Amino acid sequence: MLSLCHGAQYFTFPRRSPSGQRLQTRSHRRLGASSARWGGPAASSPQRRGPPGRPRPFRLRAPPRPLPPSLPPPRSLPLPSLSPSFLRPCPAARGSERNGDAAAPPPAPEVARLQQIPDGDNETMIPVLSSKKASELPVDEVASILQANLQNGLKNCEVCHRRAFHGWNEFDISEDEPLWKKYISQFKNPLIMLLLASAVISVLMHQFDDAVSITVAILIVVTVAFVQEYRSEKSLEELSKLVPPECHCVREGRVEHTLARDLVPGDTVCLSVGDRVPADLRLFEAVDLSVDESSLTGETAPCSKSIAPQPAATNGDLTSRSNIAFMGTLVRCGKAKGIVIGTGENSEFGEVFKMMQAEEAPKTPLQKSMDLLGKQLSLYSFGIIGVIMLVGWLQGKHILDMFTIGVSLAVAAIPEGLPIVVTVTLALGVMRMVKKRAIVKKLPIVETLGCCNVICSDKTGTLTKNEMTVTHIFTSDGQHAEVTGVGYNRFGEVMLDGEVIHGYNNPSISKIVEAGCVCNDAVIRNNTLMGKPTEGALIALAMKMGLDGIQEDYVRKAEYPFSSEQKWMAVKCVHRAQQDKPEVCFMKGAYEQVIKYCTSYNCKGQTLPLVQQQREQYQQEKTSMGSAGLRVLALASGPELGQLTFLGLVGIVDPPRTGVKEAVTTLIMSGVAIKMITGDSQETAVAIASRLGLYSKNSQAISGEEIDDLDIQQLSQITPKVAVFYRASPRHKLKIIKSLQNNGAVVAMTGDGVNDAVALKAADIGVAMGQTGTDVCKEAADMILVDDDFQTIMSAIEEGKGIYNNIKNFVRFQLSTSIAALTLISLATLMNFPNPLNAMQILWINIIMDGPPAQSLGVEPVDKDVIQKPPRNLKDSILTKNLIVKILVSSIIIVCGTLFVFWRELRDNVITPRDTTMTFTCFVFFDMFNALSSRSQTKSVFEIGLCSNKMFCYAVLGSIMGQLLVIYFPPLQKVFQTESLSILDLLFLLGLTSSVCIVTEIIKKFERSKEKIQKRGSSSSSTSSFLDV
């Protein structure tokens, strides 16, 4: 690339090869948000590089190549417009100055900013404005500098050119540590270093066979550990990519839903409540905009934003720049539009990012407990191994042999890979959840999912389809109209007494449609909704009547946005063709709220005073529509908010999602209570809850107002019997959660709005809606439902229980093998037997224990019956009494069986390779059968299917093939000190070692019979107190 310098500022132009292709020096890995820069030599200059990790620019050694004569000359700008005070220096240029290079002479001002060259031989450099200077300039001047159109946005071809120069809107991160360094780091393990010492000592003592054997074993063990760690890192890395940030951007005159990383300087971005600002924006439209900048400035109070230029004298710090929305901040209130002035590292957040140091993610409670278990087992193992080495030395055994055996035993017996495999199992389980449309952001939630016994769910979009359609209209003068058709399109009719109503045929109906259409932010384009479903239903109603163009007839002067607290939205408009006439207010919202602002009602075009009789009639109609399961909206219009004319009601249907009723029934039967929290009326909420099986004769429903009148303790006493919370706002959710947690419940809470964030954080499992949820909501949540479907919550709970069971299976297998190996060598030493296993054989067992067979247990398919199991206690240890018994039983069988084979082969009192081969193979076969029985803690291997886990089948098959190679392949026979066995020997060993599986299956059968007896005796008394609903 060529770099032109203007004073202390550098402007970089990409260099191209004669073929027209860009020359790029190296690639960068990226994370989150940054602009890329490339560096390269000028045509006649040798290549140089700047500081490590970032290519440095090159000085202009010769005059720039003249432009083709057929093209217009570069457009010049006055020098003040390109002042160095607001153009960001290229970071690579700063690196050049540090290296002591002389600065190039400044070019003419017009060279710093070129017009687009059509033939692609050069590219425009669009300068990046600092937020300080952009806040001082008028919006039009900012747009002029960035060569952007505020209303229509950039053209797609222009976006590509700018991205080619500025790069993606993401941050550069340092290159990963090379794989060879990660591999070498595995040798820093103290146990591996001790084995290396053993190999060195063997060489010094001219025991070259032992040295080679130990070295080969070290390489195998280190490789297995490296692969495990690499898989763990990659799995966690994939998790960080599951929720890419998105935004709404105007390009070529149309609003597009795009990834935030695609933004370039000059783009126009639309912001609304709950959005995370995707880049530094200079605002040019703002309605009641308030932004939370705590992530950038530390200020907890939201900052109000405006569009007016900021005087330079009051523009010192970030908090004073009220017309700038900074990258990474959150929109708490209102909506706005802004032009991108800085992306990636050229944003204010980018400056902070450069100073940030990566923090290691905290370990989950399960990982911590595994670490503690590993440390405790390590202490016990080291103590036992020390005794073994001491006793062996006192018995006259060779000290080097005992040292090597001790270290090898330590490698095999100490479960140092336990936390890593747990992490991999959790991460892989989370990736499986993604296929079920659930994104788990935090690994600890996988553990919590199996403990959840209460789910507090929104109604709209979660329990229902969120496909809003107006089906009924009630006018303020008593007319009832039915609406046909479904979906966001114009297919359907409005029928009144058998007559089709279209346009302005019926003034009472058309006024309702007019209010619902004008007081609306939704847009339907190509039968696709952009906006809220409720508003989309009103637009679709207008389309059916041919009145959808009515939005364009009004100019909005003011807006009162909808909020969950006030439950209404209003706009103040003036007719585009009659702007000299007074402004008109339109309002829509919950009937109880809208009617408070009404003083009159519309009666066939006349405005009459609103008396108590009319109010009672409207209340009855609203109750009747709600009881039918309709969502009821009231509409009004008038000159002022306090002087509105009531127009009527519309009934909107939102049918329950398919399969939700079955999911609710399954969860309730398994001990999970379901609570519906909705802003709808009592009639609508109870009707939907009854249809889904959430509400029965013994259930209760309370309103948000009633919740306000109760303290936490009082609410805790009644929440077990409450199935529906209606007319509830997000602030009520927090109180509901606290009351349930006071009763010992583990609560999952769903949410989609900005105000839900606090409740989601307070819940044990915060669940955000993937389609309708705001960025704030998604950030606060622990899990995101991609499809907003309640069934996905059940699938996630099922998967969470399955993952926890798989971890228990793996722990059982690894601990039983570790204990068996340690006990076997200990007993043989104390009984003054020769060592039944040599160092290489012990290390091979360790590979099997930590390798594919063990890891395959972590991906065992989820048992479909696991969802029927009651939630476990969050405080329960993974090592339950039942699991410890199974571990000890397996260990005892393995030790006794292996010692029996060793004793049987030693009858001639002479130890031979055959003796150790039989003992070694016996232990390995025991391991395989032990892994088979560990696949489930309750079900028989025949119930779950021998081949249901293909990875397990491949792992066991591979281990057996490896063992056969160790026995029959001559080079490996020398390494492991083995000899060939006969078919009868193998059959004898298979028969003996299968005993561990047979005994375990008998224990499982006994436990299943006992469980059935207990269920029969306590089928009616075992229901959770949370299931009184």
Long-range residue pairs from 101-105, CB within 8 A, at least 24 positions apart, any chain: 101/59, 102/59, 103/5, 103/8, 103/59, 104/3, 104/4, 104/5, 104/59, 104/60, 105/5
Estimate the crossing angle of helix 881-905 against helix 983-993, to 10 degrees. 150
Tokens 């108590």 identify what position? 612
In sequence order, what are the beta bridge partners of 559?
A: 571
Please name the residue ranges forming H helices in 167-243: 179-185, 190-204, 208-239
Q: DSSP of 780-816, one letter per residue?
A: H-SEEETT--HHHHHHHHHHHHHHHHHHHHHHHHHHH
Residue entry with tokens 């107190």: 1025
DSSP secondary-structure letter at 141?
H
3-state helix, strand, coil in the chain (%, to 5): 50, 15, 35
Residues 750 and 768: their CA atoms lie apart, in Å, by 6
Q: 999-1021 burial string, b = 16+ CB within 10 Å, else e? A: bbbeebeeeeeeeeeeeeeeeee
- DSSP one-letter code for 100: T
Burial (Cβ within 10 Å: 0-12, 13-18, ≥19) of residue 259? middle
Length of the chain, please? 1029
DSSP 3-state assignment of 774? coil
DSSP letter, residue 459: I
Residue at 283: amino acid letter? L
Angle between helices 208-239 and 839-850 (to 10 degrees): 10
Q: Please give the Cα distance from 664 to 674 (Å, whole number).
A: 7
Q: 527 by DSSP, 3-state: which?
A: coil
Distance (Å, rounded) from C-alpha 295 to C-alpha 306? 20
As annotated, the active-site residues are 458
DSSP structural state of residue 689: H
Residue 947 one-letter amino acid? C
Greatest alpha-carbon pair distance for the chain in Å reads 116
Interstrand relation of 584-589 and 631-638 (parallel, antiparallel or unpaired): antiparallel
* 113 contacts 124 by C-beta, under 8 angstroms: yes
Q: Which of 241, 268, 272 is nearest to 774 (CA)?
A: 272
Closest among 951, 787, 936 to 865, alpha carbons compared = 936
Decide if 846 contacts 418 (C-beta within 8 A). Answer: no
Q: Which helix (H) or strand (E) is 651 found in, with range? A: strand 644-653
Q: Which residues contact 441 (CB under 8 A, 6 or more apart)?
A: 239, 242, 243, 781, 782, 783, 784
Interacting residues of 526 by C-beta distance below 8 A, sequence separation 6+: none
Cα–Cα dist 735/728, whole Å: 11
For residue 22, give the 3-state DSSP assignment.
Answer: strand
C-beta separation of 679 from 567 below 8 A: yes
684 with 630: CB under 8 angstroms?
A: yes
E strand or H helix that includes residue 474: strand 469-475
